[in-house]
Amino acid sequence: MKELKGKVAVITGGAGGIGKAMGERFLAEGMKVVMADIEVPALEAAAASLPDSVERVTVVCDVSKGEQIDALRAAAIDAFGAVHVVCNNAGVGGGGAMSEMNIDDWKWVIDVDLWSVIHGVRVFLPGFIEQGEGHIVNTASVAGLFSAPFMGPYNVAKYGVVALSETLCNELAMQQSDVGVSVLCPSWVKTKIASSARNKPGATAEEADALSEFVQPLINSGIDPDLVADRVVAAVKNKEFWIITHDDTPAAVTLRTRSILEGTNPPQLMH
């Protein structure tokens, strides 16, 4: 999709971090943007920070619920008449030792990080195929390419996003479709994912603090979301599948692949 001006993008997790940066970057290309997020104050603040001249609307959306993603598409069509790009970007962090995690821990992360992408593809793909144009960007992670310890639910969800995206890419190629798909696999980026538990039903302050204490220093060392957004826009324009944002990712993927080919135990890689 070489020409983005006048087209419409829908972005989940659009109130902050990578999602907000993508929205700003798409608007700079002359697109119209639908910003979706579960956090109302952050969503309103993100929209208010944009120039009055750009065309954007906000939609409050819990991406773990399929019917709300159906409603998101309906709101986008109602506002702008069409959708051309959807970024299934909303996500949360979560983990811990598998011996200590309960089913609610697993369900929350997988519902937000994987099922939201499944619903996003289910809801938006048929319209893209019908109009003969569109691009889906699914936010995974390097956690979908190799597995670090103590991140079980997150790793499982992100591997699922990569698998879904690869499958879709192959299907679209077999159908000779002009619809594109990309999978975004960043390492550490300066976002608020360390405080994801603020949106977890029933989460305690201690739970939120524990994750933040472990992850926040790594996030602070990460790259700026604007750099990720630049790569996303380039991938949409050039119909690129893999969006790799960090120079050290290929080496880690090579180590994991070598262990598969040689039949050795997985290497202990950190994101």
Kindly list the structural domains of the chain, giving each domain's residue range(s) and its CATH number in brackets, ordered by start. 8-262 (3.40.50.720)
Cα–Cα distance for residue pair 137/19, rounded to 1 Å: 11
Q: What is the mean pLDDT of the chain?
A: 91
Residue 144 neighbours by CB under 8 Å, 6+ apart: 155, 158, 159, 160, 161, 162, 183, 185
Tens digits of residue pLDDT in 12-33: 999 999 999 999 999 999 999 9
pLDDT band of 95, cuts 50, 70, 90: confident
Looking at residue 96, what is its pLDDT? Answer: 85
Looking at residue 217, what is its pLDDT? Answer: 67
Least confident range of 65-79, 163-177, 206-220: 206-220
Where in the sequence numbering do the catalytic residues fall?
A: 154
Cα–Cα distance for residue pair 213/217, rounded to 1 Å: 8
> Of 72, 14, 67, 74, which is closest to residue 40 (Cα–Cα)?
14
Cα–Cα distance for residue pair 176/269, rounded to 1 Å: 37
Looking at residue 269, what is its pLDDT? Answer: 85
> Of 115, 197, 100, 191, which is closest to residue 152 (Cα–Cα)?
100
140 φ, ψ (degrees, to nearest 5): -105, -125
| Alpha-carbon distances of 271 from 142, 150, 179, 195, 241, rounded to whole Å | 7, 11, 31, 18, 21
> Of 174, 68, 144, 156, which is closest to residue 110 (Cα–Cα)?
156
pLDDT band of 102, cuts 50, 70, 90: very high
Tens digits of residue pLDDT in 179-232: 999 999 999 887 765 555 555 566 555 555 455 555 666 677 678 999 999 999
> Of 139, 151, 227, which is closest to residue 185 (Cα–Cα)?
139
| CA geometry: angle 50, 53, 55, nearest 5 deg | 75
